[in-house]
Structure 1
């Protein structure tokens, strides 16, 4: 976890890096010439005693800065034995790999990364395959800026304007290169950008794999996945003098915990009865692996105290209500470890979401010989849209606003057209639509406390393998994540593997907003109503409804970044002044 920034043109690189200081508490470093400036604040893990970034090649004609980790840097360094290394860092491996292989070096990387390279004639920006590490840029009036967080770029802009797109009004999140800020763009996942002082050019270097099934038996699929997960965990434990895990008690994090055996485990729970509390299973796992177990119990008072700071760290609202527990878990974990493992990605890649189960069940039901000629009767009895196109049905599931059949729907339809396997279609769609918000939240809450988050299920080898699986290896007989459960046999207790009641972490914001925080929330959202933003509530989703939460998030975002009304103390706790 580091913060990186750069300028081609006029600007203040120190100011940009200082704004990111919470991400890298172990020092700053800069490269400067007449036109180009690069800077980084570092969280040192692989080489704690080494020099600060940037790193250079032998004659200093190439320099690089890195946010994130290259997990296979040792293997790459062994390939580059003809080069002279001055440090033990993965950043220096990037420099020499680029020198040796050119841009093709990207395909050799296994990690979560945002990279910037200056080779004397151009700035090259590269973002990892799934977009785990953020990278943003701005190019206007001959000035080019990039940074790990948007707030860093804003320090160099004369004015800031909102950019609420049709995608946001549909999905409550931005898509692709969009951000909430006019003229500020996200470099999409699996993309590289080249700037030569005149033009910005971007291109994809990796795509979600096509549906090409491997000719394996079920046993071979399971054994392959076991090896991939174990190897992914092995790589992600590198440099880890103290490691923790975010432990929910579900199959994902439990499997990682039994493989990694971290010293510390951190679990979120609420003081609610029943559905909001799954501590029993997490405590069992922590005891089995001998980890010191910490419980974080967010309250409505915590939400009121911290949420403004969370919005500042996020840069823009996210399409999830889990930002408070994620923030408090990161805060607690940072007191004990530098590296935190998490089980994110498993639901997307192995058919874990209930919406996946609903879609697959409908598909299988519609294919039954007894029903395939009676779809009109079934629609009359159940739902008028049943057994219609899968893209249309999934769009109805994931949209939040009352969107029509415009660009957001067309994008979903295009993604579905690229896959024959329904589960792969939904996963590919989520990689573009919902996953970026979850990844951004994980990055920002950990970055707020200088904590490195690592996600073994996002290893690109696991992702590519998941797209090669037959659908029945993911969802079988109404059981989600079938292959992952079988891969965990003998490692994780059957009591956890065979759970069918796991619902995920639900933050009781719906309850808080109608009770403890009602007056506070209404006082803020009433101002939002005066902005005349067409945020449509859509259909009521009960405990999962985000409408009021999104109104509150947007209003605070407007005040912090657009109106600049709030004087938060989030950065002051890092001994830096917030610069907006």
Structure 2
């Protein structure tokens, strides 16, 4: 795990490029405290920079790395888990690999197979390769979006980096709010597609690559294209037992590959099914060697404490158990601006806070940590999936249309699993208060749209500007993609493209802020592709959440975890904090003269919202993040104290 940066320009001198790169690297040094390097082209104003967290072959993996003939140069962030297999193949073809670094494998794989080599990679990655001979840059990001890649192109200069703040370190790039990104954030609490909250800075989307070349008039041209997408070729030939057994084998192999490391390795352990499965499978492969696990909890009450389940798993798997109780809200005024700086954008939910603390705990013991991220999106683990299907089944029963869809789920079949929704009455009330039995896209949008009931808190002219942008239309283009076959595939496909990259953004930043590498075995693209082949009526049979996944790891986890019905999803006592020890910080931030002059908020409405926030509400969180983001980046408070 590392950080990369680069400049490809139509003008400039070596010293300017070098100084600019070092400024970019300085703000992402937390991503790579083990080393720093800069490479400059002799013919063009081109430079690549890298900060390194040494994981695989620590002695020989220094970057930027250059091929023996000097033609190709790479900077790389991530991990290629099948690097040993690829290395054997490349050596067999005569390539002069001298190390066991996955970076060297990636570099020579490009030399052997060209741009198509990304199809051979199993791993998480973002990289840039410069071809000195052809004067061409080739960059790519992994299929799922585990590793980040941002860029700014003004028609003459291309700047790219692992974090947005590195691009903002260049004096030519001014931090400005992107109104389309703001609308996405207010709707979803993340930005869709290539958008960021910064005008002029885009993210390379998961499964995309970028090329930069010079034309005949020395003008720099860039091209962005998609090299991978998820295809739903439904397998009608096999039964449920086949899918369970195949999934079990894929997960087992993924965990095995993800354990490849030349430095100490541990695992997050929340007490939920996903992280517990990873821990138990990994422990089984260590042949008696203890794996270290890391658990977080809050002292605010039993509803925020899952340590009993985590300890059950630790005892069952024989791990070295470590836990941290997240400090009370009196630290929020310090930690939240610091996290905003590391995050670049105000994404996802307050779970970022415990993730940060648990990552800091892990960094005291290991350099690599595995987790269960992605299980809910892949294996159908969110209550909103059940809520959407309940409405669909009601419609089918009332209008007698249930048998018109090949992969339909009947109302009768899901009844035994409806108790899952007992604690989700507010979600159901929100779903049904404004409509019922409408088009699929409108109904699921209502479940993921977080803007309902908060529009009065904002100055709409300041948020929307003159762009005429519709987050719902962006949502539709993803959700209504052809050949998804069923509602469950539409929902999970949108989450794969939307909410999951946002969660992975948090995973990347919280781990990198602590200078450790985070790995997510469940998001091996082979597992993702396999799940897309499973018939919807098997993978969501009778509305059974995570049915195939649970059956595939049944024998690996303790019974208490397998049969658990009350998984919390790492809830954070945010409302207790914002109405208790952090009350003054929240009010001083949102009701300050600075916030009033910014003109984003209807301050009187915000004041009322502060008093009425529900226990697990996200309104205050969204407002607070947005104001702090403006302060840290738009106002220029780039580096809060303590960072």
- TM interval, shorter chain, is over 0.9
Moved more, 486-495 or 336-345: 486-495
Which residue is equivalent to 2:244?
222
Query: Where does structure 1 lack aligned partners over 5 or more consecutive residues?
Result: 374-378, 572-580
Matched, 1:408 2:471: yes
* Map of 1:533 onto structure 2: 600
Residue pairs, 1:32-71, within 5 angstroms: 32-33=40-41, 34-71=44-81
Deviates more, 1:25-34 or 1:63-72: 25-34
- Give yes or no for contact 2:81–2:260 (8 Å, CA) kept in 1: yes
1:354-398 per-residue CA deviation (whole Å, 9 max, x = no partner) reads 00111122222322267659xxxxx9x965622211111110111
Q: 1:207 to 1:336 in 2, by over 3 A?
A: same
Q: Superposition RMSD on alpha carbons, in Å?
A: 2.4
CA change 1:214–1:346 in 2 (3 A) is: farther
Q: What is residue 320 of structure 1 aligned with on the other side?
A: 349
Once the two structures are TM-superposed, the CA of residue 46 in structure 1 deviates from its matched residue by 0.9
In structure 1, how many angstroms separate the alpha carbons of the residues matched to 2:315 and 2:196?
43
Distance 1:306 1:249, change over 3 A: same
The structure-2 alpha-carbon separation of the partners of 1:384 and 1:136, relative to structure 1 and needing over 3 Å to count, comes to closer
Alignment-derived partner of residue 376 in structure 1: none
Quick check: 1:513 aligned with 2:552?
no
**Structure-2 residue corresponding to 1:21:** 29
Residues 213 and 470 of structure 1 are in contact (CA less than 8 Å); yes or no, is this contact kept in structure 2? yes
1:148 aligns with 162
SS in 2 for 1:22: helix
The 1:27–1:100 alpha-carbon spacing in structure 2 relative to 1, beyond 3 Å, is same
Matched, 1:79 2:101: no
Instruction: Indicate if the aligned counterparts of 2:71 and 2:131 stay in contact, CA closer than 8 A.
Output: yes
Paired position in structure 2 for 1:544:
616
Aligned with 2:176 (options 152, 161, 176): 161
- Matches of 1:51 and 1:364, distance apart in 2: 55
Distance 1:135 1:78, change over 3 A: same
Q: Which runs of 5+ in 2 are unaligned?
A: 215-219, 284-289, 403-428, 456-463
**Please, which of 386, 389, 408 is the counterpart of residue 439 of structure 2?**
389
Separation in 1, partners of 2:155, 2:536 = 50
What per-residue deviation string (whole Å, max 9, x for no partner) do you get for residues 533-572 of structure 1? 26999x998333222112111212111111124752344x
1:96-245 equivalence runs, <5 A: 96-120=108-132, 121-140=135-154, 142-158=156-172, 159-165=174-180, 166-197=183-214, 198-245=220-267
Query: For 1:420, what is the secondary structure of its paired residue?
Result: coil
Aligned to 1:563: 635
**Residue deviations 1:61-104, cap 9 Å, x none?**
01111100011111111111210012211111111111111111
Name whichever structure is richer in helix by fraction: 2
Indicate if the aligned counterparts of 1:246 and 1:253 stay in contact, CA closer than 8 A.
Answer: yes
Equivalent pair of 1:242/1:263 in contact (CA under 8 Å): no
What's the CA shift for 1:292?
1.6
Deviation at 1:331, TM superposition (A): 0.6
Which of residues 317, 321, 336 is equivalent to 1:293? 321
What secondary structure sits across from 2:29 in the alignment? Answer: coil
Out of 285-294 and 227-236, give the one that drifted further.
Answer: 285-294
Normalization by structure 1: what TM-score?
Answer: 0.93
- Partner of 1:248, secondary structure, is coil
Instruction: Confirm or deny: 8 A CA contact 1:303 1:324 kept in the other structure.
Output: no
CA distance in 2, matches of 1:129, 1:13: 27
Contact 2:152 2:202 in 1 (8 A): yes
Per the alignment, in what secondary structure is the counterpart of residue 196 of structure 1?
A: strand
* Structure 1 residues 22 and 210: alpha-carbon distance in aligned structure 2, compared to 1, 3 A threshold: same
Q: Which residue of 2 aligns with 1:30?
A: 38
Distance verdict in 2 for CA 1:370–1:391, change over 3 Å: closer
Q: Secondary structure of the equivalent of 2:598?
A: coil
Partner of 1:475 in structure 2?
A: 540
The offset of 1:168, in angstroms, is 2.3
- Equivalent in the alignment of 1:399: 449
Tell me the equivalent position of 1:439: 504
The aligned residue for residue 2 of structure 1 is 2
Distance 2:637 2:373 in 1: 35
Structure 2 residue matching 1:195: 3-state secondary structure: strand
Alpha-carbon deviations, 1:91-129, whole Å to 9, x = none? 111111111111110100111100100012111110000
Is 2:273 the counterpart of 1:251?
Answer: yes
Say yes or no: does 1:269 pair with 2:280: no
Which region of structure 1 is more displaced relative to structure 2, 335-344 or 429-438? 429-438
SS in 1 for 2:235: coil
Q: Is the 8 A contact 1:240 1:339 kept in 2?
A: no
Q: Is it true that 1:334 corresponds to 2:363 in the alignment?
A: yes
Cα distance, 1:16 vs structure 2 = 1.2
Question: Aligned partners of 1:315 and 1:498: how far apart in 2?
Answer: 39
Secondary structure class of the residue paired with 1:137:
strand
Q: What displacement does 1:432 show?
A: 2.2
Residues 221-250 of structure 1 show CA distances to partners (whole Å, capped at 9, x for unaligned) of 100010000000011000154211111111
- Deviation (angstroms), 1:510: 1.6
Counterpart contact for 1:320–1:437, Cα < 8 Å: no
The number of residues matched between the two structures is 565
Partner of 2:490: 425
1:491, 1:142 → 2: CA distance?
55
